[in-house]
């Protein structure tokens, strides 16, 4: 880890802030390169919080591929810490879709890229655990997709999951798998990411979440026990075969979901080919 100061970077804008981190777009002074700074935003971080932040950098570096943002360094930044990342000039997918409709064909192309992205990290025995549109970058110019935010990711093929209270749940509640709630008494594996991908695709193909409630316990119950409406019933422009893929991804038990990225990608590719032939 190198030591730097705030004078090493010129902050251009703050692009995201959460309870624990703040993300800036900045210019690195020594080479005038535009970068992204993800800063630990805790006044007096504990050794465990610092270790987790450093682990995020390590995992981001470990899974580096065209489907992730290149990490450039982990640095002491004044009295805080930063992860320095390449600025890809992309937009978080959740922000992009708020103002820009994406066609069925382009949504299928995004889905296929996301499967490739997950395949890369899963082959390295990493579970992302927080797949959702805010953790997906999208660059409209070339339709490039990248995964971000490995803050709760695990470098294990399987991870034990225990019942915890709502404040301790990891992940974004609207997108977490039934087993990630800790209420199924079963470990997590890569298929938890497939469920979260299913929720993400449901939202992309229909314009809404499969379960919409402000009540956290009701949301958990929905993931565990409720069946969402088929995507083609929510959006008539969504082909049934596409909706079938989404529903399989969102199966309540991991064994009922897709078991390989290869099979999932093949089905999505078939849908894309059929939709192109149909002129959709």
Q: Which residues are catalytic?
A: 130
How far, in Å, CA of 109 to CA of 228, rounded?
24
Q: At what angle do helices 261-278 and 240-249 cross, to 10 degrees?
A: 160
DSSP per residue, 132-157: SGGGEEEETTTTEEEE---TT-BSSS
Do 9 and 29 meet the contact criterion of CB atoms below 8 Å apart? yes
H or E segment to which residue 81 belongs: strand 80-86
Chain length of the chain? 280
How far, in Å, CA of 112 to CA of 122, rounded?
15
How far, in Å, CA of 39 to CA of 160, rounded?
29
DSSP state of 11: E
């Amino acid at each position: 880890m190198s030591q730097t100061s705030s004078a090493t970077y010129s902050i251009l804008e703050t692009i995201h802030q959460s309870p624990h981190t703040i993300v800036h777009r900045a210019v690195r002074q020594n080479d005038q390169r535009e970068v992204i700074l993800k800063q630990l935003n805790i006044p007096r971080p504990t050794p465990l919080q610092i270790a987790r932040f450093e682990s995020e950098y390590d995992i981001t570096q470990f899974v580096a591929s065209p489907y992730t943002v290149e990490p450039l360094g982990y640095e002491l930044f004044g009295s805080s810490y930063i992860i320095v990342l390449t600025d890809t000039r992309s937009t978080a997918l959740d922000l992009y879709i708020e103002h820009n409709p994406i066609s069925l064909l382009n949504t299928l192309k995004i889905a296929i890229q996301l499967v490739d992205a997950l395949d890369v990290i899963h082959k390295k025995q990493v579970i992302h655990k927080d797949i959702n549109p805010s953790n997906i970058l999208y660059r409209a110019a070339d339709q490039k997709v990248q995964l971000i935010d490995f803050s709760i990711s695990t470098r294990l093929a399987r991870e034990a999951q225990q019942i915890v209270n709502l404040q301790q749940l990891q992940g974004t509640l609207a997108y977490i798998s039934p087993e990630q709630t800790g209420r199924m008494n079963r470990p997590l594996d890569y298929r938890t990411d497939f469920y979260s991908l299913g929720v993400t695709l449901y939202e992309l193909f229909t314009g809404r979440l499969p379960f919409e409630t402000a009540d956290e316990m009701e949301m958990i119950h929905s993931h565990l026990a409720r069946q969402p409406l088929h995507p083609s019933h929510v959006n008539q422009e969504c082909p049934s075969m596409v909706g079938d893929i989404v529903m399989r991804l969102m199966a309540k038990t991991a064994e009922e979901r897709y078991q390989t990225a290869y099979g999932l990608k093949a089905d999505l590719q078939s849908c894309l080919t059929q939709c192109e032939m149909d002129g959709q």
